[in-house]
Amino acid sequence: MSTSAATCADCLVGSASGVGRGQFCPLIARSYSPGTVLFREGDKGDYVWYIKRGHVRLQRQGGGTSTTLTKRPGNFIGLESAVELPYRVTAVTVDESILCGATGDGFRQWMKGDEARVYTILRDVLDSLYPRTAQTTGD
């Protein structure tokens, strides 16, 4: 996996970070195999990821139902850690994936004092409120 400045500059987060304009992106790219559990519902939120390539299935159990949502490239997952909350879902990679991540502390520092960065995050959160691929099934 290459994390070259050109690749990062083409990314929404890299662009918002100022990559290619003398700045750097604090999110580190890593590759994950299908079926990798990134975090589990109820775990302490300690990392935020941006999906650069691949898909991540989010699943939440409760009240006799299971809710599943698939996140795609361009989405953030694990934003709970940005506000120091436990994860509300279990996240598992669906296919070969490249995720860029940072600790919750690093992510909060990245957002400080930059409206464009905060806008990027809010846009993703709003997109998450109206998912394109969601399905609810009974247990």
Tell me the residue type at 134.
A
Res 63 pLDDT > 70: yes
SS3 labels along 17-39: HCECCCECCCCEEEEECCCCEEE
Global confidence as pTM: 0.76
Strand partners, 13: none
Going by C-alpha positions, the residue among 54, 51, 38, 49 that lies closest to residue 96 is: 54
The pLDDT-based confidence of 121 (bands split at 50, 70, 90) is confident
Which amino acid, one-letter code, is at 15?
A: S
> Diameter of the chain by CA atoms?
51
Please tell me which residue, 60 or 14, carries the higher pLDDT value: 60
Cβ atoms of 13 and 50 within 8 Å: the answer is yes
Please state, as a whole number, how many other Cβ atoms lie within 10 Å of the Cβ of residue 127.
Answer: 15
- The per-residue pLDDT for 1 is 39
**Arithmetic mean of pLDDT, 49-78:** 90
Q: Where are the domains of the chain?
A: 5-131
- State pLDDT tens for residues 26-40: 788 899 999 999 999
Query: Residue 5: is its pLDDT beyond 50?
Result: no
Q: What is 5-131's CATH number? A: 2.60.120.10
pLDDT category of residue 4 using cuts at 50, 70 and 90? very low
Answer yes or no: is pLDDT of 54 > 90. yes
